[in-house]
Chains A and B, each alone.
Chain A
């Protein structure tokens, strides 16, 4: 088995496991980072979203072997105290219901704001519409993203 080294939440990890194990299960089963959720394993729902650098990616679609040398951020590492503008906006807009998909949603929004400071509704739709929230918190997420964008500008 290959030994793969990569960074998660500013910590370097060297993992000795099957090279085809998706990053999702590496994070959850081997590193104990359970904020990254399993929803479909097909890259369709977005619950397992993490940041690779500043880009939102689906950890169920990244094989461990392909993670070598990369830098990842999970929801646990987005901020030390839950005070990333998206996390604050999510709380202020009372977005979450069951909350299961929300870590992935917040990271997707954070990646959007990292490349686009003041996204339009259409840009928010484009970034967020590949993710599933079965509780239907979409309109609140949109408000939270606008709020986070304003907060970041202020």
Chain B
């Protein structure tokens, strides 16, 4: 709710987002974390339009948990940082603009309706008078806050829906942008933590005698893995000290976890019934009548986030206060955890959110903040905890491995029944279901899980989706696109298998299966099949889908996949690939991406997110996997957890299908369709159906 401005102040702060000073300076508080998705740029552009100021004059501040932002979400997840803030910020800015206009009108004794705002000024054209916003701050603060401010119409937008380049680009290019690792207070020490290398471990003992240059050696228990922190005055001394530290760990019953055996367990669990997720139509009857049955099983390995900025956090805990500096997607959690742990009043804790060197879901959990707070309290000094790359790879949490079993009953040239059994592990970082929840057969269906299977958009005559949870000691949590990638890989690959079994065009088959273009209501979601059809038809024409992809002297083909993200973002991707005549290598030439995500707040930003999400998806499609042997994650860096590099990149083309629907989430959306589009293209090119990620033609 907007607050009434303070008439006595020299600045005008009608609400938590905005401050205008007497010199005309405009400050916008950014209420979500910037991690590359462009939220700072998008929100600044939104404010500039609705407040009617020059975008280049807007100064940005990062919101902090605390009373100013009560009731405003600061957590950055679910692809909603720009789209979910859009309307609230427009209302806040429009209210501020109307108060400035009302203040000017009152001074001139004219009606507000006869005054106009224009780039930081209010004018009364009839009399030729005008005043700057700065000159009006005091009077505007005395105006009542309008409850229903009039938003600008799209025709009046200068910035919204226009391509706006990244607002931080110059700072970044000059090396001046400040990330968590750069935000260490000058007097802080540095800690590097030797963490238990295996799952389900406990600290037995450590020997900290004779580590030169090290000021403290302290156990730390608040992370995901237990550890012993080595504290020194520089990062290098702490790293060397950490290497010199001898620690004995105790192995728990789950500490010999092996990911190959786990994959076998997932495959075996496809025989179990699991939890019913969806059951549309008469599946048993349709199965009985069908002429042929197709079945396929798809495998998806554990994945790591591996953002280039490793986890880190600085904390300064004093007896009566605590300040934290962190690149985090969840500042409120960091704040609440510190308040709780330290027993301090809320206003004695300050969490400063910096830019993030990549988030991708990893920074939704604040284990590394908790470690820094615990350690600073223990040693009574400000300290920055720095994770090494190998810590980041092994001691965080992971994207869970999963198996999808798909089957279709075919009859009369149609899909009579479609069954999708998803086998995976619950995301333990979000909290595992209670015993009571586990007893409820509808527990997962009520939560609309698993994404990509639950929200299967197709209009099958009969559809059955089941979920089989398999326990695992591996800490698992959000990863870019969360539950979608493995399910969409399977669903869209299998539909391609069915299309080929029928000899049908896979794009036309999808359009047919989305008929009659109605709205499919599933729990909280309303999936608009007509929007998806429009995207498919646009892509078919604009991307010349029917034209074969050929490369002289090589096997070549194209494949496609679609996904609907959270019922508000509709996407198709087409991959063009080739392989040698012996089918021994793989080159991805181009990925074409068309989508309707509602109003495109910043088309330039969306294009960047398409490239980013596709690259992320390609890393998982071609390279990514984490193996556990004897409880230890085997990969320790970018040398053995390969991610895409420039020389492997396909060309990427983006087509935004215009839409006036409300803006939908986007940052994660391009990830999931990549793997099936590529796998389907490989089949088109080589006749080989690959059902296991990372895809390998070897």
| Residues of A in contact with B (beta carbons under 8 Å apart) | 17-18, 20-22, 25, 28-30, 33-42, 44-45, 47, 74-76, 78-79, 82, 87, 90-91, 94-103, 106, 124-126, 128-142
A29 to B615 alpha-carbon distance, docked (Å): 33
Q: Which of A33, A99, A131, A141 contacts B168 (CB 8 A)?
A: A99
| Residues of B in contact with A (beta carbons under 8 Å apart) | 34-38, 165-166, 168-179, 181-182, 190, 234-237, 239-240, 306-310, 355-360, 386, 388-389, 604, 608, 611-616, 637-639, 643-649, 651-652
- Set of chain B residues within 8 Å of A129, measured between Cβ atoms: 645-648
Contact A82 B173 (CB under 8 A): yes
| Known contacts A22-B236, A91-B170, A102-B172; A135/B36 CB under 8 A | yes
Contact B639 A42 (CB under 8 A): yes
Contact A139 B235 (CB under 8 A): no
**18 residue pairs from A and B, CB less than 8 Å apart:** A18-B237, A21-B234, A25-B234, A30-B234, A37-B181, A37-B309, A38-B235, A78-B174, A95-B169, A96-B36, A98-B358, A99-B168, A100-B307, A103-B173, A132-B645, A137-B608, A139-B652, A140-B611
A131 to B389 alpha-carbon distance, docked (Å): 15
Closest to A25 in B: B236
Contact A136 B614 (CB under 8 A): yes
In the assembled complex, the CB of B303 is this many whole angstroms from the nearest CB of chain A, namely: 12
Contact A100 B358 (CB under 8 A): yes
Contact A97 B652 (CB under 8 A): no
- Top 3 A-B pairs ranked by shortest CB distance? A35-B175, A136-B615, A100-B357
Q: Which of A30, A41, A138 contacts B649 (CB 8 A)?
A: A138
Q: Which of A35, A36, A41, A90 contacts B389 (CB 8 A)?
A: A41
Contact A136 B644 (CB under 8 A): yes
Contact A42 B358 (CB under 8 A): no
- Set of chain A residues within 8 Å of B613, measured between Cβ atoms: 136
In the assembled complex, the CB of B325 is this many whole angstroms from the nearest CB of chain A, namely: 13
Contact B647 A125 (CB under 8 A): yes
| Known contacts A135-B358, A136-B615; A44/B639 CB under 8 A | yes
- Set of chain A residues within 8 Å of B638, measured between Cβ atoms: 40, 42, 44-45, 132
In the assembled complex, the CB of A44 is this many whole angstroms from the nearest CB of chain B, namely: 5
- Set of chain A residues within 8 Å of B639, measured between Cβ atoms: 42, 44
Contact A94 B308 (CB under 8 A): no
- Set of chain B residues within 8 Å of A22, measured between Cβ atoms: 236
In the assembled complex, the CB of B101 is this many whole angstroms from the nearest CB of chain A, namely: 34
Contact B608 A134 (CB under 8 A): no
- Set of chain A residues within 8 Å of B236, measured between Cβ atoms: 18, 20-22, 25, 29
Contact B181 A98 (CB under 8 A): no
A85 to B672 alpha-carbon distance, docked (Å): 36
